[in-house]
């Protein structure tokens, strides 16, 4: 069982930047790690939760990526969230599955999100339709 701990993830900038997500809170089995922004509403954050369904274990990982802008109104600078991107991934693993099967499931899914996987990348990142 992993400890509630920090998470460091690189982005896909030309020169990748490591983002540190620190443990923030646990509410009813939902664990949140976040990277602080100028305002709390602008924190990038992952939440992780697990539940048991009969003979299956469900793990849900959510990510929010708010974009914070600073507007100056009457000489006062105010930071606010202008938009956000969200990811909500649910992994449901059968109790009878092997460690290798679960590892392959996660690995294949993670690798399918690579920039070189045109079907997935161009649809999600490029905003393109599928023909």
Domain boundaries, the chain: 7-96, 97-131
Length of the chain equals: 131
Average pLDDT along the chain: 95
29: left (phi over 0), alpha (psi -120 to 50) or beta: left
Confidence tier at 85 by pLDDT (50, 70, 90): very high
66 pLDDT higher than 90: yes
CA distances in angstroms from 4 to 13, 48, 69, 101, listed in the order given? 28, 10, 31, 25
Has this prediction a pTM greater than 0.85?
yes
- CATH fold of the domain at 7-96: MS2 Viral Coat Protein (3.30.380)
- Give the Å distances, CA to CA, from 79 to 22, 40, 57, 65, 74: 22, 10, 40, 16, 14
Let me know the angle formed at the C-alpha of 97 by 104 and 91, rounded to the nearest 5 degrees.
Answer: 60
Which secondary-structure segment (H or E) carries 47?
strand 44-53
| Residue 38 confidence (pLDDT) | 83
Which band of pLDDT confidence, cut at 50, 70 and 90, is reported for residue 57?
very high
Q: Is the torsion defined by CA of 59, 33, 85, 107 positive or negative?
A: negative
């Amino acid at each position: 069982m992993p400890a509630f701990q920090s998470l460091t993830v690189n982005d896909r900038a030309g020169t990748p930047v490591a983002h540190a997500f620190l443990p923030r809170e646990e509410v009813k089995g939902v664990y949140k790690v976040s990277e602080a922004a100028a305002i709390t509403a602008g924190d990038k954050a992952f939440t992780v939760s697990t539940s048991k369904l009969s003979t299956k274990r469900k793990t849900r990982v959510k990510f929010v990526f708010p974009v914070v802008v600073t507007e100056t109104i009457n000489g006062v600078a105010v930071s606010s969230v202008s938009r956000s991107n969200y990811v909500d991934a649910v992994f449901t693993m059968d109790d009878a599955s092997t460690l290798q099967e679960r590892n392959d499931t996660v690995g294949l899914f993670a690798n399918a999100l690579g920039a070189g996987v045109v079907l997935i990348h161009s649809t999600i990142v490029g905003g393109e339709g599928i023909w």
